[in-house]
Structure formats: C-alpha cells, structure tokens
Amino acid sequence: MLNPRLDQLKDYPFQRLRNLLEGVKPPEGMRPIVMSIGEPQHAYPDLVGEVLAANRHLYGKYPPANGTAELRAAIADWLRARYRLPDGMIEAERHVLPLAGTREGLFMLASVVVPPEKRGRQPAVCMPNPFYQCYAGAAVTAGAEPVFVPALAERHFLPDFTALAPDLLARTALVYFCSPANPQGSVAGLDYLRELILMAREYDFVLALDECYAEIYNDQPPPGGLEAAAGLGGDLRNLLVFHSLSKRSSVPGLRSGFCAGDPAIIQAFVKLRGYASAPSPLPVSAAAAALWREESHVAENRRLYQEKFRLAESVIGNRFGFYKPAGGFFLWLDVGDGEAAARRLYGEAAITALPGEYLTRDDGSGLAAGKPYLRLALVHGLDETREALGRLSETLG
C-alpha cells in the first residue's frame, strides 16, 4: 500500500530530537527557550496586515498557478536591483515562478528534472553534508540516489563538488547547494558559483541554489547564482535560484517564496504545479509583492541578527570553535558530542538545541560530518538570546 522509497527516509530531525529528549525534564521553574527551530521571531512590518486586509475580498477567487503578474514583476525588479543584473536577463513572465514557500519548490523540483534513468543508470542527486532534509526527501521520492558531499571546517564548510568522480557526475541530474549555508553560515564566492554553473552545463545537470538566507549577513551581501551567471554572459541554462520571505521579512507563516532561472525548467515547473500545488491566495501574493518592494524592514531585521552575533561572540568567546558566520542566523558549535550536549542543555538549562548529527548522513567512510556539532538558532529577541547564551555558557563550560 505504501511507497517503499519512504523506507529510505530517516525520521525528520525534530522527531529525532523529541525521541532524544524523551524522559529528560528541564529544571522546575526555568522558562524553556527553543533554539532548535529556525523560525524567525522578529516582528514583521505592519504593511503585511494592511495589504492582507485591503485585499481580503480576493480570498473568494482562485489564484493562478504561476502567481500574479504583480508579484512576478516585484520579484524580477528585486532580483535585478539586488544582484545588479543587466537589462533583459530576468523577465518576469519567463524566468520567475512564485511558490507557496521555497520548501515546496525545492522538493517538487526533483520531480521536474530527475529522469527515470540518466545514461542508462539510476540518476544521482548531490547535496552538501550537512544538508536541508528537504533535499534528501526530494531525491529519494524521485527515485534518485542521494549523494552527500562533505562540507567540513577545513574547507570553510563549502562542499567540493569538483572532487566527485566523473562517472558519478555523468549520472547526476540535480545538485542542491545552499549559500549562505544552513547550518554553518558559509558563503560561496562568485568564482565558486561560476564553477558550479559551468559543471552543470558540462555534465547536463540542474543546479538548484537555495539562497533563502541571502539577506541575513554580517558584513558583505552574499553573491548569488544569477549574479554569477551574469558574469558568464547572462545565460540561465541549467540554473534555478530559490528565495524566501520567511527569513528575509520574518514572515514564515505567509508561506511565500519563488524560484527563478532557466525558462525551460520554469515552464515545466508551472505545468507540474498546475496538477499538484495550491498556489498562494491572492491577498498573500499582494502582501508578498509589497514586501519585495520594501527594504527598510530588511535592513532592520539584519541589524538585529548582527547584534545577536556580536553578543554571542562576547559570551562564548573562542570556546566550542565559535566563529561569526558570514550569513544566516545559526550558531554551529563544536561541543564534542552533539546529542550529549543537547540532552544536557535541555535537562540543566531548559534550552532546546539540535544535534548536528541529525542534519547529516554517514558519507560512506564512517564520517558523520555533524556529529560533534550543535545547531542553535538565534531567532529570539536580544534579551532572551542573552539569557539563553548565558545558560549555555554556564552549562557547557
């Protein structure tokens, strides 16, 4: 009765965490602080409620599968401005597809671009290790072999896709890559991104660049895939980038994102979504368009995260391999044993954190790239973050 491919999927990380903490009781009277989930807690701008209310009459209409023209135009304008793209490189009607959150798009992409066979063999889908669980789930349910490429500290947490064997690359249908990375916060430079794009064309696979954390950074704006493609002449073949309002604008509940790039893939994606997806309601699309056209709230959001990382640096110092990530909002701390540290933090400090092992797979050599690590999301307000960091410092030493 059930799809046997589902047997290849492990429990989702948060279910594994619930199992790990079962029977562990936090100190009585201590307020729990959940740092295991990357759910933004900053206030979102007032314009969200205002636009939703002004367009509430549109809940009575079915939305189009490829989003509204207004939203596509706002996204295209934002991409041109953010990545300094030349005129004509991104057209709202050909290159942009709004999504009901980027997880939907990242998952469904595999069904669009992974064939039953590639060169007579099972196709492969490659991804960093650690990885966003959606990537592996998409690969498995599309009938591909998920391949986990180590993203270790000695390479600044950037996976070396060029080290993969040509025979593997020849049957690769899709590569997922996240920059800034979840969880390490590493950022790929333009040279790295250009090399990936050229590899995608040489071996004829699709490169899916997950750029959902692109607007949360400490110093310099992270470069993006479209910017790299512009440097290669503006060709968008084999390339899709994904962005989200969840992190950029602190509206995870709005469930609004987009992908942009290769028009042939976008066209096929629209066709599949016509069968399988529930497009964002029209009032949500109106609010999303307004958010992509407004930057002041993004700058304030980014400032708050920067302030929390400065606080973390002052509290943690040089312990646990602390570093201030180039982007994103996670701490990726080397605590020796992530599971043991997570149990201790919950039982002694009422802090919920995610063991890095739950975001990784054994790469075949016995190495689980995340086993020594603990991921903590700095998504709460400054006072709560200060309290949490103090508890962590006191508990783990």
Same domain, 198 and 314: no
Q: Which of 294, 311, 341 is the C-terminal boundary of a domain?
A: 294
- For residues 259 and 385, membership in a common domain is answered with no
* Phi, psi torsion values for 259, nearest 5 degrees: -125, 155
Flag whether pLDDT at 72 surpasses 60. yes
Cα distances from 285 to residues 59, 67, 298, in angstroms, run 11, 7, 18
Do 241 and 92 share a structural domain? Answer: yes
The pLDDT of residue 366 is above 60:
no
Residue 263 has a pLDDT of 98
Residue 312 has pLDDT above 70, yes or no: yes
Work out whether the CA dihedral 336, 342, 347, 349 comes out positive or negative: positive
Per the listing, tokens 């790295």 go with: 192
Please, which pLDDT band fits residue 88 given cuts at 50, 70 and 90?
A: very high
Sheet holding 145-150, edge to edge: 96-99, 257-261, 239-244, 206-210, 172-178, 124-129, 145-150
pLDDT of residue 163: 95
Express each pLDDT in 26-69 by its tens digit.
Answer: 999 999 999 999 999 999 999 999 999 999 999 999 999 899 99
**Residue in the structure block whose two tokens are 């391949």:** 147
Together in a domain, 237 and 355: no
Task: Examine the fold and report which residue of 294, 321, 346 is the final residue of a domain before the chain moves on.
Answer: 294
Domain at 169, CATH number: 3.40.640.10
Q: Is residue 300 classed as helix, strand or coil in its secondary structure?
A: helix
Q: How far apart are CA 340 and CA 39, in angstroms?
A: 24
In a shared domain, residues 264 and 303: no
What domain range includes position 202?
47-294
Q: How many domains does the chain have?
A: 2
Residue 244 has pLDDT above 70, yes or no: yes
How much is the average pLDDT of 154-159?
Answer: 93
Between CA 43 and CA 54 the distance in angstroms is: 20
CATH number for the domain that contains residue 318: 3.90.1150.10
Domain end: 277, 294, 311, which one?
294
Same domain, 235 and 363: no
Strands in 211-321 per DSSP E: 239-244, 257-261
- Cα separation, 208 vs 185, whole angstroms: 18
User: Which DSSP symbol is given to 144?
Assistant: P
Asked if 126 and 245 sit in the same domain, the reply is yes
Report the sign of the C-alpha dihedral through residues 78, 175, 207, 68, in that order.
Answer: negative
* Count of C-beta atoms within a 10 Å radius of residue 276: 11
Strand partners, 47: none
Contact indicator for 241, 209 with CB cutoff of 8 Å? yes
Q: Are residues 186 and 312 in the same domain?
A: no
Give the rounded percent of residues in the chain with a pLDDT score beyond 70.
98
290 and 177, same structural domain? yes
Q: Are residues 150 and 92 in the same domain?
A: yes
> What is the predicted pLDDT for the residue at 8?
83
The verdict on 314 and 226 lying in the same domain is no
Residue pLDDT, tens place only, 179-191: 999 999 999 999 9
Q: Write down the pTM of the prediction.
A: 0.96
pLDDT score of 243: 98
pLDDT category at 209 given cuts 50, 70, 90 is very high
252 and 364 belong to one structural domain: no
**DSSP helix/strand/coil, 72:** helix
